[in-house]
Amino acid sequence: MAITRLGGANAITGTIPQGNIANASLGAVTALPAGVGGKVLQIQTTFKSSVSTISTNGDGFVDVTGMSVAITPSASSSKILVQASILYTFNNDTYGTLGGIRCMRDSTAIGTGGQSYTSGTVTGANESGNNFYVTVPLLFLDSPSTTSATTYKLQVRNSIGGDITFYVNGKKTGSNYGASTITVMEIAA
């Protein structure tokens, strides 16, 4: 392959020896070199458009009905990219509410910080109108280190404490107002 640099007083010309090129041309490249990861091996997703009413008791986390997805990694070294978006509102408008979401891998919370919430998922409300709602996005790269079937799911909690009701995909009136989804992608290490 000839190399030519045009312009300037110090033009460079020459040939790269064929032995220094792994493939004779870019068109002949069929795979990335060993050690280069990042290939998506599989995708699993769950889409939820129906309204769910979820009652929380005290400070405990409660599963979001219909917001789980299973994946079986093909290698224990694979990463799982978890993406989710959940739309909800609360029924409590007297004292205000802080609702938090967390993502679970089977029975293990992932991507959490203080208060056991997945990063950036706590939302507040002190809203008496029926049109209040919030959409919370989540994104986390997990390392499950397994080739067994693994389930990812979302849970909610009232971080102020006490009993409240979450309306997933709905307004306080119970009418549908959107949709939620959770997607997992196996990424080659």
**Residues 143-183 pLDDT 10s:** 999 999 999 999 988 777 667 788 899 877 778 888 999 99
Q: Higher confidence at residue 42 or residue 118?
A: 42
Structure-block tokens of residue 16:
């790269």
The string of pLDDT tens digits covering residues 21-77 is 555 554 555 555 565 567 999 999 999 999 988 887 766 888 999 999 999 999 999
Q: What is the pTM of this model?
A: 0.74
Residue from 170, 187, 173 nearest 66 by CA: 170
How many domains does the structure of the chain reveal?
1
29 lies in some domain? no
DSSP conformational letter for 51: -
Query: What confidence score (pLDDT) does residue 121 get?
Result: 58
17 lies in some domain? no
Query: What confidence score (pLDDT) does residue 181 get?
Result: 96
18 lies in some domain? no
15 lies in some domain? no
User: 78 is in which domain, residue-wise?
Assistant: 37-187
Highest mean pLDDT among 25-29, 77-81, 110-114: 77-81
71 lies in some domain? yes
30 lies in some domain? no
The CATH number assigned to the domain holding 91 equals 2.60.120.1340
Q: Is 178 helix (H, G, I), strand (E, B) or coil?
A: coil
Q: Let me know: does 147 contact 68? Beta carbons within 8 Å.
A: no
The string of pLDDT tens digits covering residues 92-102 is 655 556 778 88
- DSSP secondary structure string, 17-40? -GGG-SSSSGGG--SPPTT----E
d(CA 3, CA 8): 15
Query: What confidence score (pLDDT) does residue 163 get?
Result: 74
Say what percent of the chain tops pLDDT 70.
66
Q: Let me know: does 136 contact 143? Beta carbons within 8 Å.
A: no
